[in-house]
């Protein structure tokens, strides 16, 4: 099938855009539209045309859904065509071109069973599919089967499909797995089965357990009763055994108490209080003894210390002297240095004075020190001076420059021609421009005229029968075509009539001939008597009889007549003969009646035929006459044209030819009128322009000058005048601006000079203060200022040094005097020592005296402290002694030494009393409710050993029973809990329900798993089968294409065994080297995949009806050369099937000009509004 | 006199074929057979019946959990509290059951002998009940033949677990004929064993009440017991009463007019809503069968899981969470004119490889081998019975071919160019 036309009547951005795809063998069409031009919409429209507009189509943004229409015209290889419109909808979406619904099956005949899906799949390729195809080959390591199959199946990513199928299958089940759904469910099911079995309670077990429980419970009850009884008995015995020793002990203790007699009971804390008093007393005695010893030692120490009181009295003065001593020693050192510096300074001052003011000394100069304000002012003025000067110079130069410029501009203006007004000329030219390029139009019209004339002359030369000249030819009075038609009809009617008559004549003649032959046949069989013959012979007989009668009865001479009657015989014989003849004839007539009748009929028939022939011949003659007349009229019709006409049909052809000449002539007339009109316009313009030129003082138009030249001259003139005017205006503007500038500069210069003058006034005043002349330059003034500064600095320094030397000397004298006074007072022996040494010694003595004083004070304080301690110890001793005395009184004894014994007696007594009470309570408690007296009485007669033996026996019995009881408890508990679990619960049933749920889910998963598992198996099988069948031819063809697409970088493809012993694809280099797919670039992989796709497609086309191959911009990653090669391959493919190449890369359009293929490329450029259909073949490029 | 006739309780027999999924009404249908028995007891109490007849198969034969027996006993105790007697015979399942042997029923329950026909006369009701239970799992003798003739001046009831003269889907046990039954002169034959309700004849009545609760998709429709009323020695009413707590139904969705998968869902919603309404909004287990030649065929098979979960969600939604989709069968066909007419050799090869699943012996045996691991692993419950999965059977491989074709076409076509 081939798409002849795609009519984007109302779809997406398109309105009535038609795309003619009929050209070419099958045609390789490049549909070029830049971005947004509607390329994708066109591509979609193509698919919608064939397979319907999807429900949710977004191509309704201009046209409403119900208005969407795509038209198309398709052609099958057998030449049948189908034109239809597609509308959007659920049914009746195919309409005839005039809008009536058509059966959709009519379209199916052109789709050849290729569905929407498989169309995209087998006959579509886009960039993405190409890249994906290439990548998949790489990902599959070039596995041959997969690569071929994938190319054959429209680029499915087989590896991914296989992996996905297998992954999905493995997610359902894996032999050794635990996680996949089925594995999980199976193990869950096993768990549940176990759970059901665990939860299910066997009924026999239940009955047995119930019985057992009842037995255990009965036994437990009896054990419990025995236990209670035994326990009571044991307890009683135990009590008795316990009471016996206690009652003995009670008796003994009571006896001891009685033996003690009267006892003073002391309070519990008595012993503690006594101990505390004794301890206090002893401690105080010890303190007192120590204090006395210390005091004695301290008094001895204090007596040994001697204090130099005089020295100590002068301590502050000595301290002050010591402080001044360091200062005194340093000043003595500094003095020498200061004196040296003073001398140097004074020398410097002299030198400077000599320079600045010879004859003056330092003192007299001091009054001349300049004030700070003056200094600052001079410095400021000096710094401004240069700026002012520079400003003044700049202003002067600017003024000069401006004046020069002005003069130059004025000269320029003077030398310029005066401007003229060219407005009207410009207007005329504009008007002319509006009427277009008249000269060119004229030329074109003339050329067209010549062309028409040439063609008309050519036609005339080829026109037969006409000898008219070219000029006359238009006026030849030829008959109209209607007339010719009429004649043609007449002629043909005439001819038809004659022919008809001829044919009928032929028929009639042959009929006559037949009849005559029959007549002859009858005649040959013997003469046939006819009624006429009979009549004739009877007439003769009658005639004879008449003669006989006349001769016989009337006697007439009948000689003559009888001779006439029968010249040979006499009348009698003749009459007799005639009678015989008549009889004979009558007899024969009677005898041969049938023959006679037939004969007669034939004769009649022959007569009729003859008559018919005669009539026809007459008619034929008439018809021929009529034709001859028509021929005359026909000639007459052409006579005015002076033409001897041929047949009307020939003349009609002639007329057509002649008509063409007339058309040409008419066009010539039109062209002439056009030329005249253009020439008229040119004349008008010419005159107008010439007028303007004259007005502007230019040469008017001349005869020799063509209109074009004139116009050009006018344009140049106009342009020159405009330029002149512009130049004038420009210069004037500049002159006026320059004048303004000069004014400004003049003002600036004046300002600068004034500022300079002001400065000079200020300056002379300032330097005068310094005693410098008016002419002193700022530099000089500044130098003098700095020298003066230095001088005064030196003078100030000298003054300072002198002051310091004087101070040092004064301080030293004071220090000496103070030292001397102090020594005289404290240690007159040291008077001869130098003051500083004396001061140092005084200080050392003072330190020693102070140490002695400190020690004295310390010991005195200690003596006082110890005395206080001694007094406190004595007070403590008295207190403790009093306490002990009071305790003795309480215990009823005389001395503290007896206290301890009294205490012990009291404690023993109390202890015994308490023990008795405890025993009594104990006994009563164990006595089982009897009084103490009773119990003590009862116990006296008991045999303890016998009781003990009895009790041990009972206890053994008890422990056995207890063991049994706990066993039974446990047993009952466990049986109860076991039976408790069997309570009619539905847990097992619920587990069974869940197990059924799990089985159901396994069932479900198994279905899916089987499908997936088998799908993977089948797919692998299909791939292998496909490879085995197609590997040879497909690879060879794909190899050739690959070589072409890679421009010979590869020479072909082969298949070899790869790592896993599977056949893999390899590229072969021209030098025989092989390259694995892993070694190919992305682009080369794309080309490899494309080769496989195209080879598969070609194979398909060998046995199937072609379908258009839709290519959507696949060359994005191809370099120019490979892209060109690809276009060539596709162009070659278009010999077998239509190729529609959509692109929005202008580069491809350029590239395709270099494409060499026997099938041309056809271009269609479009944007959303129009489809510019520029069909170009590569030959033309 | 009023009594209830029920049979085939199959207590604690699990519901089969219900795959758990999010939103499935697990709680609503848990312990359905128990709830149905409780309903029976409640009905008996509400109607104040004089007695209850249980015509065999109280338990599932291979079910061992004694709890089940205890539950039955507890329900019988409740009847006892209401003063209602129960007459029971054992069926084939009970004979096989361990529970029966040890269970002590309360004293209002009379279990008839399994060795000989036994007759019980209740004089205050003028009632004679005759019956014999199954001593063994398979009873092939005509038990009814041994039943005594009707007791004169009594209302006679025959209690029998039988397949009568043969009933589809049921083992032939205690075979007998209606004629043989009628010859005994009883007023009412209370039969059991056949799970489908059937009034074999009236006056005298021969009745199968059907089972109490449907347990799989082959037991669709309302299930329950017969409520029978007698006045003056004549039966005046035999009425079926529904006792089931959930019901099984098959919903056939005609996808013929659907253009897309969503249209199929819409059609299914209508059918399912109708099912909910028809069954008085009780919990339902529904098998959805999507049939017909439809344009949506490919879309459905492309991603059945998606449509399954959508249908399940829809079912949950419209039933208020009480509908369980037992199974969703996609039995659609390609609509005419939508077949894949691709003639690409690769695809043709693929299609013929798929066909090889039926025709190519090597491929079939490879396929069976590929499924071998799974076959080994499958629980034996799935490998036996009416709907056994037979992965070792070449027929299974053949039947899968169409599904395989869809899987492959879908997955491979998904890689095509979208023009």
Chain A residues with CB under 8 Å of B373 CB are 173, 175
pLDDT tens-digit map of A882-936: 888 888 888 888 888 888 888 888 888 888 888 888 888 888 887 777 788 888 8
- Give yes or no for B71 touching A (CB within 8 A): yes
pLDDT, tens only, A25-84:
788 888 887 776 677 888 888 888 888 888 878 888 888 888 889 999 999 888 889 999
Whether residue A832 lies inside any domain: the answer is no
Determine whether the interchain pair B419/A1096 forms a contact, defined as Cβ–Cβ distance below 8 Å.
no
**Residues in B touching A1022 (Cβ below 8 Å):** 346, 349-350, 352-354
Same domain, B179 and B97: yes
Residue A359, token pair as written in the block: 């004859």
Q: Does B348 touch chain A (CB under 8 A)?
A: no
> What does the pLDDT look like over A634-671, one tens digit per residue?
888 888 877 888 888 888 888 888 888 888 888 888 88
Tell me the shortest Cα–Cα distance from A1173 to chain B, in angstroms.
23
Residues 6+ apart with CB under 8 A from A725: A419, A420, A422
Residue ranges of B 189-248 with Cβ closer than 8 A to chain A? none
A467 and A492, same structural domain?
no
- Report the relative pairing of strands B155-161 and A14-20 from DSSP bridges: unpaired
Residue A155 has pLDDT above 70, yes or no: no
pLDDT reading at A954 higher than 60: yes
Contact B101 A1099 (CB under 8 A): no
Residue A487 shares a structural domain with residue A633: yes
Is the pLDDT confidence value at B247 over 60? yes
- pLDDT (average), residues A275-302: 86
Write down the pLDDT at residue A645.
83
Structural domain including A118 reads 1-22+35-123
Examine the domain organization and report whether B98 and B138 are in the same domain: yes
pLDDT of res. B155 = 94
End-of-domain residue from the set B242, B260, B281: B242
Q: Beta strands A69-75 and A1052-1057: pairing type?
A: unpaired
Domain end (from B186, B211, B242): B242
- Count the domains in chain B: 3
B182 and B217 housed in the same domain: yes
Same structural domain for residues A636 and A523? yes
- Chain A residues closer than 8 Å to B358 by CB: none
Q: Which residues of B touch A149 (CB under 8 A)?
A: 346, 349
- Domain edge (last residue) among A54, A89, A123: A123
Q: What is the pLDDT of residues A477-526, one digit of tens each?
A: 888 888 888 888 888 888 888 888 888 888 888 888 888 888 888 777 76
Q: Is B325 on the interface with A (CB under 8 A)?
A: no
Predicted confidence at residue B236, as pLDDT, reads 92
Region A791-795: mean pLDDT is 85
Looking at beta carbons, which residues of chain A come within 8 Å of B30? 986, 990, 993
From CA B101, how far away is CA A373, in angstroms rounded? 139
For residues B135 and B233, membership in a common domain is answered with yes
* Contact state of A1018 with B363 under an 8 Å Cβ cutoff: yes
Rounded distance, CA A572 to CA A839, Å?
246
Distance (Å, whole) CA A144 – CA A1026: 10
pLDDT, residue B336, reads 60
B408 touches chain A (CB under 8 A): yes
Per CB-CB distance under 8 Å, the chain A contacts of B407 are 165, 1011-1012, 1015
pLDDT digits (tens, 9 = 90+) for A1067-1082: 999 988 888 888 888 8
Distance from CA of A201 to the nearest CA of B (A): 5
**ipTM higher than the 0.85 cut:** yes
Report pLDDT for A325: 83
Per-residue pLDDT reduced to its tens digit, A353-409: 887 766 777 677 777 777 777 788 888 888 888 888 888 888 889 889 988 988 998
Q: Using a CB cutoff of 8 Å and minimum separation of 24, what contacts does A354-360 make? A: A355/A787, A356/A784, A356/A787, A356/A788, A356/A791
Q: How many CA atoms lie within 13 A of B268 on its CB side?
A: 30
Which range, of A1095-1109, B66-80, B311-325, averages the lowest pLDDT? A1095-1109
**B355 contacts chain A (CB < 8 A):** no
Residue positions counted in chain A = 1181
- pLDDT over 60 at A1180, yes or no: no
pLDDT tops 50 at residue A456:
yes
Question: Has residue A321 been placed in a domain?
Answer: no
Burial A451-487 (b: 16+ CB within 10 A, else e): ebbebbeebbeeeeebeeeeeebbebebbeeebbebb
- pLDDT at position A1171: 52
User: Residue B392's domain spans which residues?
Assistant: 340-419
Cβ pair B408:A1001 closer than 8 A: no
Chain B contact probe: residue of A110, A989, A1098 with most B CBs at under 10 A? A989
Instruction: Quickly list H helices, B154-242.
Output: 178-182
Number of structural domains (chain A) is 6
Asked whether residue A412 is domain-assigned, the answer is: yes
> Would you state the pLDDT for residue B338?
46
Q: Is the Cβ pair B417, A1002 closer than 8 Å?
A: no
Mean pLDDT of the residues in chain A: 83
**pLDDT value at residue A129:** 81
> Which of residues 367 through 396 in chain B touch A, CB cutoff 8 A?
367, 370-371, 373-374, 377-379, 381-382, 387, 389, 391, 396
Query: Residue B157: its pLDDT value, please?
Result: 95
- pLDDT value, residue A156: 66
One domain for residues B187 and B114: yes
The whole-angstrom distance between A186's CA and the closest CA on chain B is 7
Residue of A nearest to B336 (CA): A105
In a domain, A939, yes or no: yes
Whether B195 and B289 share a structural domain: no
The answer to whether residues A575 and A547 touch, using CB atoms and an 8 Å cutoff, is yes
The C-alpha angle B326, B327, B330, rounded to 5 degrees, equals 160
CB under 8 A, 24+ apart: contacts of A550-556: none
User: What letter does residue A26 receive in the DSSP assignment?
Assistant: S
| B312 pLDDT higher than 80 | yes
Verify that B207 and B251 share a domain, yes or no: no
pLDDT of A1167 reads 64
Does residue A298 form part of some domain? no
Q: Which residues of B touch A165 (CB under 8 A)?
A: 407, 411
Last residue of a domain, one of B313, B338, B363: B338
Q: Which of A1042, A1065, A1093 is the last residue of a domain?
A: A1093
Name the phi and psi angles at A142, rounded to 5: 75, 20
Give tens-digit pLDDT for A970-1016: 888 888 887 777 777 788 888 888 888 899 889 888 988 998 899 99
Is B184 found in the same domain as B293? no
Number of helices and strands in chain A (H, E): 31, 14
The lowest-confidence range among A1100-1109, B131-140, B146-155, B222-231 is: A1100-1109
B52 phi, psi to nearest 5 deg: -125, 135
What pLDDT, on the 0 to 100 scale, is given for residue A308? 78
Partner-chain contact B343 A989, CB within 8 Å: no
In a domain, A1115, yes or no: no
Q: Per the domain annotation, does A1120 fall within a domain?
A: no
Whole-prediction pTM value? 0.50
* Mean pLDDT, rounded, of chain B: 88
pLDDT at A37: 67
Same-domain status, B207 and B71: yes
Q: Give percent of chain A above pLDDT 70.
A: 97
Chain A residues closer than 8 Å to B286 by CB: none
Note the pLDDT of residue A126. Answer: 83
Looking at the structure, tell me whether residues A454 and A591 fall in a common domain.
no
| A119 and A260 together in one domain | no
Predicted pLDDT at A1177: 44
Residues B306 and B190 in one domain: no
Q: Which residues of B touch A1030 (CB under 8 A)?
A: 345
Helix, strand, coil content of chain A in percent (nearest 5) = 75, 5, 20
Residue A411, pLDDT > 50, answer yes
pLDDT value at residue A1179: 43
Of the two residues A132 and A1040, the one the predictor is more confident about is: A1040
Binary contact (B14, A996; C-beta < 8 A): yes
pLDDT digits 0-9 by tens, A1139-1150: 988 888 878 777
Q: Same structural domain for residues A77 and A145?
A: no
Contact A427, A714 (CB under 8 A): no
Contacts of B346 in chain A (CB under 8 A): 148-149, 151-153, 1022, 1026, 1096
Whether the pLDDT of residue A1178 is over 50: the answer is no
Q: Would you call B412 an interface residue with chain A, using a CB distance cutoff of 8 Å?
A: yes
Specify whether A1062 is located in the same domain as A964: no
Which among A124, A990, A1004 is the nearest to B419, CB-wise?
A124
Q: Which long-range contacts (CB under 8 A, 24 or more apart) does A416-424 make?
A: A416/A724, A416/A727, A416/A728, A416/A731, A417/A724, A419/A721, A419/A724, A419/A725, A419/A728, A420/A696, A420/A697, A420/A721, A420/A724, A420/A725, A422/A696, A422/A717, A422/A718, A422/A721, A422/A722, A422/A725, A424/A692, A424/A695
Chain A residue numbers touching B416 (CB-CB < 8 A) = 117-118, 120-121, 124, 129, 154-156
Note whether A1061 and A926 are same-domain residues.
Answer: no
Per-residue pLDDT band at B122 (split at 50, 70, 90): very high
Mean pLDDT within A790-802:
86
Query: What is the tens place of the pLDDT at every residue in A329-367?
Result: 888 888 888 888 888 888 888 888 887 766 777 677 777
pLDDT category at A251 given cuts 50, 70, 90 is confident
Confirm or reject contact between B296 and chain A (CB < 8 A): no
**A1127-1177 pLDDT, tens per residue?**
888 888 888 899 988 888 878 777 877 777 777 788 887 765 555 554 444
More confident residue, B208 or A108: B208
Structural domain contains residue A97: yes
Both A665 and A710 in a single domain?
Answer: no
Question: How far is A537 from A114, CA to CA, in rounded Å?
Answer: 100
Tell me the mean pLDDT in the region B143-164.
93
- Residues facing residue B323 across a β-bridge: B284
Banded pLDDT at A428 (limits 50, 70, 90): confident
* CATH number, domain with residue B100: 3.60.21.10
Determine the residue among A1011, A1027, A1037, A1140 to mutate to test chain B binding: the one whose Cβ has the most chain B Cβ atoms within 10 Å.
Answer: A1011
User: B225 and B345 in one domain?
Assistant: no
Indicate whether B34 and B144 sit together in one domain: yes
A462 and A452, same structural domain?
yes
Average pLDDT over residues B330-358: 73
Residue where a domain stops, chosen among A88, A123, A158: A123
Same domain membership, residue A449 and residue A497: no
């Amino acid at each position: 099938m081939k798409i002849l036309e795609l009519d984007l009547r109302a779809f997406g951005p398109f309105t009535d855009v038609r795309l003619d795809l009929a050209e070419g063998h099958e045609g390789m069409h490049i549909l070029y539209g830049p971005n947004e031009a509607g390329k994708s919409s066109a591509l979609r429209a193509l698919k919608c045309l064939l397979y319907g507009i999807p429900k949710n189509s977004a191509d309704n943004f201009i046209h409403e859904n119900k208005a969407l229409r795509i038209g198309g015209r398709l052609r099958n290889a057998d030449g049948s065509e189908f034109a239809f419109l597609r509308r959007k909808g659920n049914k009746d979406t195919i309409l005839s071109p005039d809008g009536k619904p058509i059966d959709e099956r009519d379209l199916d005949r052109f789709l050849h069973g290729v569905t929407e899906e498989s169309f995209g799949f087998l006959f579509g390729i886009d960039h993405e599919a190409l890249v994906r195809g290439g990548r998949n080959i790489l990902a599959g390591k070039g596995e041959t089967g997969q690569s071929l199959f994938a190319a054959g199946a429209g680029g499915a990513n087989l590896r991914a499909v296989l992996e996905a199928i297998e992954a999905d299958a493995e997610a359902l089940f894996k032999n050794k797995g635990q996680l996949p759904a089925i594995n999980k469910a199976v193990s869950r099911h096993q768990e549940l089965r176990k759970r059901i079995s665990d939860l299910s309670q066997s009924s026999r077990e239940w009955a047995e357990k119930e019985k057992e429980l009842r037995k255990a419970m009965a036994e437990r009850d009896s054990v419990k009763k025995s236990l209670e009884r035994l326990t009571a008995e044991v307890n009683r015995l135990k009590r008795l055994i316990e009471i016996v020793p206690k009652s003995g002990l009670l008796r003994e203790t009571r006896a001891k108490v009685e033996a003690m007699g009267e006892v003073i009971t002391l309070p519990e804390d008595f012993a503690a209080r006594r101990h505390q008093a004794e301890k206090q007393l002893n401690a105080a005695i010890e303190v007192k003894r120590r204090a006395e010893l210390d005091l004695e030692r301290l008094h001895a120490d204090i007596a040994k210390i001697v204090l130099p009181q005089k020295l100590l009295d002068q301590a502050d003065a000595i301290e002050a002297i010591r402080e001044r001593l360091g200062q005194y020693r340093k000043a003595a050192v500094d003095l020498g240095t200061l004196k040296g510096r003073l001398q140097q300074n004074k020398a410097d001052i002299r030198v400077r004075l000599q320079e600045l003011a010879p004859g003056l000394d330092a003192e007299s100069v001091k009054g001349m020190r300049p004030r700070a304000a003056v200094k600052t002012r001079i410095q400021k003025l000096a710094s401004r001076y240069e700026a002012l000067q520079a400003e003044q110079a700049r202003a002067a130069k600017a003024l000069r420059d401006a004046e020069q410029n002005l003069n130059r501009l004025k000269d320029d203006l003077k030398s310029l021609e005066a401007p003229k007004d060219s407005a009207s000329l410009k207007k005329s030219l504009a008007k002319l421009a509006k009427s277009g390029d008249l000269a060119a139009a004229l030329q074109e019209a003339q050329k067209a005229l010549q062309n028409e004339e040439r063609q008309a002359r050519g036609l005339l030369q080829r026109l037969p029968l006409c000898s008219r000249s070219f000029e006359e030819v238009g006026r030849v009075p030829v008959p109209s075509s209607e007339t010719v038609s009429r004649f043609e009809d007449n002629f043909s009617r005439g001819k038809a009539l004659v022919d008809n008559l001829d044919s009928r004549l032929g028929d009639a003649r042959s009929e006559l001939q037949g009849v005559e032959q029959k007549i002859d046949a009858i005649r040959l069989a013997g003469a046939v008597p006819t009624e006429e013959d009979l009549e004739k012979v009877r007439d003769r007989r009658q005639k004879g009889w008449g003669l006989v009668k006349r001769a016989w009865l009337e006697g007439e001479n009948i000689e003559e007549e009888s001779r006439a009657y029968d010249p040979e015989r006499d009348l009698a014989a003749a009459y007799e003969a005639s009678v015989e003849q008549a009889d004979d004839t009558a007899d024969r007539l009677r005898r041969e009646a049938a023959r006679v009748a037939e004969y007669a009929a034939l004769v009649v028939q022959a007569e009729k035929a003859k008559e018919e022939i005669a009539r026809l011949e007459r008619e034929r003659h008439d018809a021929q006459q009529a034709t001859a007349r028509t021929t005359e009229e026909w000639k007459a019709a052409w006579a005015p044209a002076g033409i001897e006409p041929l047949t009307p049909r020939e003349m009609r052809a002639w007329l057509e030819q002649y008509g063409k000449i007339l058309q040409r002539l008419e066009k010539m007339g039109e062209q002439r009128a056009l030329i005249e009109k253009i020439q008229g316009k040119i004349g008008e313009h010419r005159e107008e322009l010439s007028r303007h030129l004259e007005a502007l003082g230019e040469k008017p138009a001349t005869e020799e000058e063509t209109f074009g030249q004139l116009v050009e001259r006018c344009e140049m003139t106009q342009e020159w005048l405009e330029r002149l005017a512009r130049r004038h205006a420009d210069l004037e503007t500049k002159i006026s601006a320059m004048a303004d500038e000069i004014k400004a500069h003049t003002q600036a210069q004046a300002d600068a000079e004034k500022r300079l003058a002001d400065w000079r006034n200020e300056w002379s005043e300032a330097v005068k203060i310094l005693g410098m002349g008016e002419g002193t330059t700022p530099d000089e003034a500044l130098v003098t200022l700095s020298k003066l500064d230095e001088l005064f600095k030196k003078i100030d320094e000298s003054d300072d040094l002198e002051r310091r030397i004087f101070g040092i000397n004064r301080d030293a004298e004071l220090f000496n005097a103070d030292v001397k006074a102090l020594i005289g007072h404290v240690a007159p022996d040291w008077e001869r020592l130098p003051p500083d040494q004396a001061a140092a010694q005084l200080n050392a003595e003072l330190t020693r005296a102070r140490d002695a004083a400190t020690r004295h004070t310390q010991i005195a304080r200690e003596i006082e402290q110890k005395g206080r301690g001694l007094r406190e110890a004595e007070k403590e001793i008295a207190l403790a002694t009093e306490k002990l005395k009071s305790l003795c009184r309480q215990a009823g004894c005389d001395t503290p030494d007896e206290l301890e014994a009294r205490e012990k007696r009291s404690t023993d007594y109390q202890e015994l009393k308490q023990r008795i009470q405890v025993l009594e309570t104990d006994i009563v408690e164990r006595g089982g409710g009897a009084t103490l007296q009773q119990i003590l009485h009862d116990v006296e007669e008991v045999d303890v050993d016998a009781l003990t033996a009895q009790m041990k026996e009972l206890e053994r019995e008890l422990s056995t029973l207890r063991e049994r009881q706990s066993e039974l408890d446990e047993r009952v508990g466990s049986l109860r809990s076991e039976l408790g679990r069997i309570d009619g619960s539905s847990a097992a049933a619920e587990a069974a329900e869940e197990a059924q749920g799990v089985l159901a889910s396994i069932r479900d998963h198994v279905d899916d798993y089987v499908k997936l598992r088998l799908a993977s198996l089948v797919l692998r099988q299909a791939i292998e089968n496909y490879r085995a069948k197609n590997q040879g031819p497909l690879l060879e063809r794909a190899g050739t294409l690959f070589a072409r697409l890679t421009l010979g970088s590869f020479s072909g493809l082969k298949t070899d065994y790869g790592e896993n012993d599977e056949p893999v694809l390899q590229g072969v280099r021209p030098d025989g080297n092989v390259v694995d797919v892993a070694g190919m670039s992305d682009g080369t992989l794309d080309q490899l995949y494309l080769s496989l796709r195209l080879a598969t497609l070609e194979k398909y086309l060998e046995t199937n009806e072609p379908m258009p191959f839709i290519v959507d911009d696949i060359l994005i990653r191809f370099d120019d050369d490979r892209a060109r090669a690809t276009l060539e391959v596709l162009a070659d493919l278009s010999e077998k099937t239509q190729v529609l190449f959509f692109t929005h890369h202008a580069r491809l359009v350029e590239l395709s000009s270099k494409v060499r293929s026997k099938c041309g490329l056809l271009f269609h450029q479009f944007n959303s509004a129009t489809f510019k259909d520029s069909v170009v073949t590569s030959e033309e490029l | 006199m009023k009594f209830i006739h029920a049979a085939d309780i199959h207590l604690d027999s699990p519901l089969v074929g219900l795959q758990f999924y999010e939103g499935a009404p697990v709680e609503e249908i848990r312990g359905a057979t128990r709830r149905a028995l409780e309903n029976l007891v409640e009905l008996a109490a509400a109607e104040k019946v004089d007695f209850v007849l249980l015509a065999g198969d109280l338990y599932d034969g291979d079910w061992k959990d004694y709890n089940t027996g205890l539950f039955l006993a507890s329900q019988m105790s409740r009847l006892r509290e209401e003063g209602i007697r129960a007459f029971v015979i054992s069926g084939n399942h009970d004979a096989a059951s361990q529970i029966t042997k040890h269970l002590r029923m309360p004293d209002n329950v009379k279990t008839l002998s399994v060795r000989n026909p036994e007759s019980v006369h209740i004089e205050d009701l003028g009632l004679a009940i005759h019956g014999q239970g199954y001593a063994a799992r398979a009873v092939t003798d005509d038990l009814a033949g041994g039943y005594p003739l009707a007791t004169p001046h009594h209302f006679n009831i025959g209690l029998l677990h039988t397949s009568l003269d043969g009933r589809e889907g049921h083992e032939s046990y205690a075979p007998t004929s209606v004629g043989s039954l009628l010859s005994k002169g009883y007023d009412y034959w209370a039969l059991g064993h056949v799970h489908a309700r059937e009034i074999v004849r009236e006056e005298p009545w021969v009745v199968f009440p059907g089972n109490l609760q449907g347990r799989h998709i082959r037991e669709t429709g309302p299930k329950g017991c017969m409520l029978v009323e007698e006045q003056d020695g004549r039966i005046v009413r035999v009425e079926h009463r529904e006792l089931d707590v959930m019901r099984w139904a098959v919903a056939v969705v005609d996808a013929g007019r659907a253009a897309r998968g969503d249209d199929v869902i819409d059609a299914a919603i209508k059918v399912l809503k109708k099912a909910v309404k028809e069954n008085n909004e009780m919990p339902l287990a529904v098998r959805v069968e999507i049939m017909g030649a439809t344009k949506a065929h490919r879309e459905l098979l492309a991603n059945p899981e998606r449509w399954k979960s959508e249908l399940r969600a829809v079912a949950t939604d419209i039933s208020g969470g009480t509908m369980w989709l037992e199974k969703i069968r996609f039995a659609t066909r390609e609509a005419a004119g939508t077949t894949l007419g691709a003639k690409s050799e690769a695809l043709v090869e693929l299609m013929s490889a798929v066909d090889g699943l039926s025709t190519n012996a090597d491929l079939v045996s490879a396929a069976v081998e590929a499924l071998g691991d799974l076959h080994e692993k499958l629980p034996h419950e799935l490998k036996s019975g009416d709907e056994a999965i037979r992965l070792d059977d070449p027929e299974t491989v053949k039947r899968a071919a169409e599904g395989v074709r869809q899987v492959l076409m879908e997955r491979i076509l998904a890689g095509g160019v979208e023009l």
